[in-house]
C-alpha cells in the first residue's frame, strides 16, 4: 500500500491515503488523476498498463488499485 500512497504523492494528491474510500464515486479523483496515476504506475513498473485495466472501478480505493496491479503486473 505504501507504493500506491507514493503514486498519489507523486501526482500531488497528498489529501488521499489508504483510508480514503469512494475515490471515484465521491468525485475525489477524476480522469486526469487516473491518467496521472497510470503514468506513475507505468513508470514504476517499467511497462504499460493494459487499457482493459483502466476503468473507474479499479481506482475506487487503495485495495482496488492493489488488486488491479497484482493481476495487471504479474506477467
Domain locations along the chain: 2-72
Nearest to 53 by CA among 9, 22, 45: 45
Superfamily of domain 2-72: ACP-like (1.10.1200.10)
In angstroms, rounded to a whole number, what is the distance separating the alpha carbons of residues 5 and 9?
A: 6
pLDDT in tens, 11-37: 999 999 999 999 999 999 999 999 999
Do the Cβ atoms of 8 and 41 come closer than 8 Å? Answer: no
Do the Cβ atoms of 31 and 68 come closer than 8 Å? Answer: no
Q: What are phi and psi of 71, to 5 degrees?
A: -80, -45
Residue 3, pLDDT above cutoff 70: yes
Q: What is the pLDDT of residue 5?
A: 97
Mean pLDDT of the chain: 97
What percent of the chain stands above pLDDT 90?
97
Q: What is the pTM of this model?
A: 0.94
pLDDT-derived band at 75 (thresholds 50, 70, 90) equals low
Amino acid at each position: 500500500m505504501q507504493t500506491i500512497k507514493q503514486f498519489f504523492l507523486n501526482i500531488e494528491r497528498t489529501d488521499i491515503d489508504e483510508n480514503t474510500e469512494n475515490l471515484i464515486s465521491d468525485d475525489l479523483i477524476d480522469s486526469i488523476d487516473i491518467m496521472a496515476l497510470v503514468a506513475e504506475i507505468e513508470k514504476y513498473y517499467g511497462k504499460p498498463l493494459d487499457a482493459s485495466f483502466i476503468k473507474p472501478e479499479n481506482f475506487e480505493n487503495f485495495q482496488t488499485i492493489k488488486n488491479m496491479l497484482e493481476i495487471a503486473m504479474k506477467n
